[in-house]
Structure 1
Amino acid sequence: MLEFLSETEKLKERLARERGIGPKELERLVREKQEDYAGLLSEAAAVFVIAVENGLTIDTSPPLPVFTRLADLGAPMRANVRAMIERIYALKTFEKNGRTGCVTNIILRDDSGTARLVLWDKEAEKVEQGGLERGDEIEVLNATVKNGLEGPEIHLGAAGSIKRVMAGKPTYSKISALKEGKEQDVIGRILEVGKRREFERNGKKSSVAWCIIGDETGTVRLILWEPYSALVERIKINDVVKIESGIVRKGFGEELELHVGGSSRLLLNPKNLDESRELGIVRLPLKKASELAEGEEAEVRVVLSKILSASDSRTTQDISRFVEALFKDDTGEIKACFKGKNVLGLLGLKTLADDISTSTVLKLKEAQLVGKEYFLIGRLAGGVFNVERVVGQSAGA
């Protein structure tokens, strides 16, 4: 029954106070109104109709929800909660009784503690599509609280609802800032797609895959464990990936790797690509060398074929570095010019002491640089591709 019908006594008091309709007169009006509706109208409904007809203003909006702190949740109960999303786990699919479904788990936090929110099927798919993000403040209304393995769990049944009330402002680590042993969030572009390998462990079949991602600060090998290993079948060069709670470990040759599995979250080509541009993840047309047009900003995927020249311009306080080199792909060759920090990107260095010349470093590294694949952003001017950013290098020569 509608909430306002429980306010019958208050309406009777208002009719007497504001309209001078006392108890006896109201009783008569109620009987008449019920007769008009062939006895189908309850007393409460009749009082409401009489109040409206006599010009009383009645607030029929639903009452504001009362929220329960996460620390006060217990099973079984129904509850409304308002909390921040601390972590979103990978979407899991399953088959049960001939039906395919999916589920995702979200860790919520408020000022009293944490709790797990479990979303099924359509609601879980909305999260996987970027409907909710880490750091968002959400309201979960009319949820069911059940006992879970780690305490009370919040389940969103058919009568429940969930909405974002405040968008979060997540921060992401640059690839050059990755630290071994830490969980970190990263946005990067796919620079190279590896292969998927199946294996068996403790009698259970699984798979793992890899790819190379990069941002404007460097590149890293991304290790994809299930449920993400199958992504290599549809990931393409230049796709953007957003990774939450990736684990940084040392891999082959003591190089850092970023591992993503069931306790992490990966979004392929997230919707908020404007934000990605601010983070240095720029999506531009990937052009062949023969397709470059004068003045157009574009990205090329090319192999270094020859170093043409290197020079430094020094002042008492600074040094400017310049390199010209030839690059090629399967359609032709281009001459590229590197300046300043982009020279370091070409060399694969983060820093270079001012007293070391660019030509000296190139003599030492030229053999390992020639034949290496690069992703470069720049503009063609006067037949020279002026590099604006070294997006990344391939893992090998």
Structure 2
Amino acid sequence: MFAEPSEKTRDLLQRLNAFFDEHIYPNEERYLREMDEFRRAGNAWQISPLIEELKPLARAAGLWNMFLPHEHRGVPGISNLDYAPLCEVMGRVMWSAEVFNCSAPDTGNMETIERYGTEAQKEQWLEPLLRGEIRSGFLMTEPAVASSDATNIQCTITREGDEYVINGTKWFSSGAGSPHCQIFIVMGKTDPEAPRHAQQSMVLVPRDTPGVTVLRHLSVFGYDDAPHGHMEVQLENVRVPVANILLGEGRGFEIAQGRLGPGRIHHCMRSIGAAERALEMMCDRLSARVAFGRPLSEQSVWHERIAESRCMIDQARLLTLNAAHKMDTVGNKEARAEIAMIKVVAPNMSCKVVDWAIQAHGAAGVSQDFWLAEAYAHQRTVRIVDGPDEVHRNAIAKLELAKRKAAAQR
């Protein structure tokens, strides 16, 4: 059913792979060198010259905003199933997605504003995001509560006349470190007395609003992920117009469910790309290294790991494509079990394959000389972002139990 990509995807995939061969892979070292120079100068939070150089080339190649699920002002949409192979390629190089304006959290934020925003909100924020002129941040997780349960969120959004007053602290706010970041989507409580899933709302908060303070960046396994960053942000008596609310008061949980479904599958697509590249590196390294008188690639333990990696990657890819197909045909809500399953399977698979690739490289695998240490740090983090494994496993189990209960009643 999913053996061959559509004609549209084959065309985009050919052009995307050609772009990677010409512009992305040859510049991986340059990107790291530029960012290291910024760090040594004392400020890593600067725009990447390389990415800014490549963006116009990507637009000229017709490789821009490829994630859009719906037609928007003449820009055709793409199905989740068609986007999957493209997103997988972008998962092979961590910073590459921004070149095509397809990076998180911007993709999720753009989809959210496009789907739930007013025309005025779209004009002010969506259009410059689509043009790649600005970036955005998503402020949901909080340090004081278990944010895997979004109903725990304590940030308050209180209406005073024609304004909302926002107070709270968020952390691991993706994208908030970029100098191009100009808009936040903030989730908080507008009515703590409402039913459990009707207490939360989402509101648009311009980055330069008085009372918004970026307290610090949070590293991930020692990586700062600059200039994108994961920041701790304080919101102290932040005032925004009532018109900045998304969809309406009490609709935040609904928006979160609509936003996180596509975000989760995009993470999984990229995880598959990372695992695929790790397997390639593993095979190359094993073929080039000799130990105990013969190439490592001839030793049976590595045959086992290579074979298992191929099986795991293809299984995860098929599961992801199935979820994408179901999202396209019956909607995100009906595909919630499939989304939950891939969110468990794909990052766990990628962690395992990258870990074996690190082992194949020996000490070099954990060094900065290879991409693998960075890849492992990122893939291990994906097991937490957009809901940890445990939450998704719990959701899958509940759906299975409900099916059996319904069958017994029949």
Q: Could you tell me the TM-score, scaled by structure 2's length?
A: 0.22
Larger Rg: 1
Q: Could you tell me the TM-score, scaled by structure 1's length?
A: 0.23
Higher relative contact order (CA 8 A, sep 6+): 2
- Bigger fraction of residues in helix: 2
